[in-house]
C-alpha cells in the first residue's frame, strides 16, 4: 500500500526542491547479484575484492576515453583471470563474460524498501534524478527491466556523462536537467565518499544510505545517515527541511 504523501511544498532558497538517488546498492541489490554472477563464472566469489578493484580500474579507463564501452567488460574479465594466474585470449574472456552477464541479469532485484519510497517521492511532486556510476548502456536496460524508469525525470550514467561521482560534474548535470539548484537538492546513496560527501562538496545535501546499520564515530560534517529508504520521508520532511529553514 502506498503511503500518503504529506503536504510538502518547499518555497525558500535552501529548501528541498528535488531528490537524486544512486542506483546500484541503493535501489538495486547489485552486490548480491554480482557476487552470484562472479561465483557462477569462476566457481566461487572468494576474489570479490579483486574483481571490484579491476572493475574500478577499467571503468576509470572507460571514462577517460582509453577504452570503448563495447570492449571494456571483456578486457576487464581477461585482466581479472590474468591476475588469478590464468592467461586466456579475448575470445574466451568474451565467452565467459557473456555467461556472467546472463547470470547477473537474472539476479537483479530491488530492495524491499525501494518502491514504497519512490511512490512516496513521486506523490510529493518533487522531481527525481537517478545518478549512477555505471559504465554504459546496460544500466538503462537494468533500470527499465526493474520498472524504475517510470519514477525518474532524468537518469545520469557516468559512462554517458563522462564523469563519475564524486566529480561534481555529474551532480551539476543532474540538477541542470531537473531545473533545480544544487543547494535545493538532496542526494542519497550507499557510498559515503562518492555519494554523500561528493554531493555535499558539490553543494547539495548529502545522505548516506548505510544498510549495514550505524557505524562507530561521528558522521562527516553536513552528512545525514539512514539505514533504510523507509526512513527517508521523515528525514526529508522533518530534519532536512527544518535545517533549511
Give 130-145 pLDDT, tens digit per residue: 999 987 778 999 999 9
Alpha-carbon gap, residue 21 to 23, rounded angstroms: 6
In a domain, 130, yes or no: yes
- Identify whether 160 is part of a domain: yes
Same domain, 150 and 93: no
Q: Are residues 76 and 159 in the same domain?
A: no
59 plus 146 within the same structural domain: no
pLDDT given at position 191: 96
Residue 2 forms part of a structural domain: no
Tens of pLDDT, residue by residue over 214-235, are 776 789 999 999 999 999 999 9
- Regarding whether 210 and 156 lie in a shared domain, the answer is yes
Given 107, 140, 169, the domain boundary residue is 107
Question: Taking residues 76-91, what's their average pLDDT?
Answer: 97
> Do 237 and 135 fall within a single domain?
yes
* pLDDT surpasses 90 at 194: yes
Cell 518547499 belongs to 10
| Higher-pLDDT residue of 192, 60 | 192
Residue bearing the bigger pLDDT, 186 or 137: 186
Quick one: pLDDT at residue 239? Answer: 67
Asked if the structure places residue 3 within a domain, the reply is no
Containing structural domain, residue 91: 31-107
Q: In the prediction, which pLDDT does 14 show?
A: 53
C-alpha 132 chain-centroid distance: 4
Tabulate helix, strand, coil % of the chain (nearest 5). Answer: 50, 10, 35
- What's the total number of domains in the chain? 2
**pLDDT band with cut points at 50, 70 and 90 for residue 180:** very high
Helices (H), the chain: 30-42, 48-63, 69-83, 90-106, 114-124, 138-145, 158-161, 168-178, 198-202, 232-234, 241-244
Together in a domain, 94 and 151? no
The pLDDT score that the predictor gives to residue 2 is 44
How far is it, in rounded angstroms, from Cα 136 to Cα 237?
34
Distance CA 52, CA 118 (A): 28
Quickly tell me which residue has 555529474 as its cell.
Answer: 170
- pLDDT for residue 198 is more than 80: yes
With respect to residue 35, please indicate whether it lies within any of the assigned structural domains. yes
Do residues 131 and 207 make contact, with C-beta atoms less than 8 angstroms apart? no
> Is residue 12 a part of any domain in this protein?
no
Amino acid at each position: 500500500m502506498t503511503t500518503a504523501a504529506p503536504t510538502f511544498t518547499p518555497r525558500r532558497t535552501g529548501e528541498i526542491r528535488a531528490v537524486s538517488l544512486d542506483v546500484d546498492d541503493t535501489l538495486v541489490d547489485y552486490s548480491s547479484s554480482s557476487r552470484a554472477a562472479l561465483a557462477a563464472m569462476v566457481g566461487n566469489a572468494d576474489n570479490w575484492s579483486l574483481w571490484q578493484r579491476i572493475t574500478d580500474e577499467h571503468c576509470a579507463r572507460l571514462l577517460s576515453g582509453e577504452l570503448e564501452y563495447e570492449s571494456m567488460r571483456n578486457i576487464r574479465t581477461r585482466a581479472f583471470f590474468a591476475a588469478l594466474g590464468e592467461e586466456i585470449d579475448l575470445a574466451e574472456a568474451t565467452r565467459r563474460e557473456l555467461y556472467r552477464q546472463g547470470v547477473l541479469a537474472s539476479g537483479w532485484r530491488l530492495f524491499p524498501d525501494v518502491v514504497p519510497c519512490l511512490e512516496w517521492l513521486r506523490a510529493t511532486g518533487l522531481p527525481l534524478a537517478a545518478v549512477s556510476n555505471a559504465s554504459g548502456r546496460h544500466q538503462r536496460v537494468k533500470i527499465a527491466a526493474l520498472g524504475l524508469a517510470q519514477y525518474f525525470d532524468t537518469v545520469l550514467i557516468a559512462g554517458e556523462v563522462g564523469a563519475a561521482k564524486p566529480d561534481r560534474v555529474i551532480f551539476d548535470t543532474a540538477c541542470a536537467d531537473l531545473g533545480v539548484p544544487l543547494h535545493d537538492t538532496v542526494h542519497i546513496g550507499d557510498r559515503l565518499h562518492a555519494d554523500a560527501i561528493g554531493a555535499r562538496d558539490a553543494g547539495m545535501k548529502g545522505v548516506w544510505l548505510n544498510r549495514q546499520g550505524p557505524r562507530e564515530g561521528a558522521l562527516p560534517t553536513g552528512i545525514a545517515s539512514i539505514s533504510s529508504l523507509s526512513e527517508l520521508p521523515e528525514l526529508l520532511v522533518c530534519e532536512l527541511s527544518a535545517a533549511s529553514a
